[in-house]
Structure formats: C-alpha cells, structure tokens
C-alpha cells in the first residue's frame, strides 16, 4: 500500500491511497489493484500527521470507504480468480462443421 500526501499546501494530508488486494490458496494467487481518494477536511479533530500514520489506520479508511459490500465484492472477485485457476473455464474449440468438406 502506498499513500500520497495532498500537496505542498497540505503536506500532512493523505488524499490518495494505492492498494493491492492479494489472495493465496496453495499454489494459486490472485491480485487486484485500486486506489481510494480522500478529502482534506480542515480542523479534523482526529487528524494524524502523515509520519504517524499506521498501515492499520489507512486500511481502515479504505475499508470504511468501500463499505461492507465493497469489501465482500473484492474478496469474491479474488476468490473467483483463484477458482478459475483451480478449475479453468472450458475454452471452445474451433471444429469444422460436419456438412462442410475441407
């Protein structure tokens, strides 16, 4: 996960967090990347300076932004990718039609 401070005018605020969601099941791995955007809120009472942020705190912001359904959707997508690796979907074959002679 990477965080990006806002700007020179508000250097301690995080406005963007880039994150990867990774799932591993034995030899199978799936990954999704995305970003979360945050607003600069003046005089925020629970403000944490950039250098004091923790991974858990920023992950909490991302999870709050996604909501319960968003987190569940990400987890389902990762699981779907892994399931497709374990049991690959059937690919159609290009077979000649029986009534057409080559």
In a domain? residue 67: yes
Three-state secondary structure call for residue 3: strand
With respect to residue 101, please indicate whether it lies within any of the assigned structural domains: no
Sign of CA dihedral 82, 86, 89, 93: positive
Instruction: Answer yes or no: is 47 within a domain.
Output: yes
Dist CA 72 CA 80 (whole Å) = 12
In this structure, what DSSP letter does residue 17 have? E
Check whether 102 has a pLDDT greater than 60.
yes
How does DSSP assign 30-44, residue by residue? EEEEEEEE----TT-
Which neighbouring-strand residues pair with 22? 31
Residue with tokens 């080559």, as numbered in its chain: 102
**Domain tally for the chain?**
1
pLDDT tens-place string over residues 53-97: 899 999 999 999 999 999 999 999 999 999 999 999 888 888 888
């Amino acid at each position: 996960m990477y965080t990006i401070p806002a700007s020179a005018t508000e250097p301690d605020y995080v406005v963007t967090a880039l994150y990867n969601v990774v799932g591993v099941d034995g030899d199978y791995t799936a990954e999704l990347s995305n970003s979360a955007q945050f607003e600069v809120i003046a005089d925020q009472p629970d403000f944490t300076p950039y250098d004091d942020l923790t991974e858990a705190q920023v992950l909490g912001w991302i999870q709050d932004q996604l909501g319960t359904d968003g987190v569940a959707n990400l987890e389902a997508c990762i699981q779907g990718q892994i399931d497709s690796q374990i049991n690959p979907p059937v690919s159609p074959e290009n077979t000649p039609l029986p009534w057409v002679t080559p």
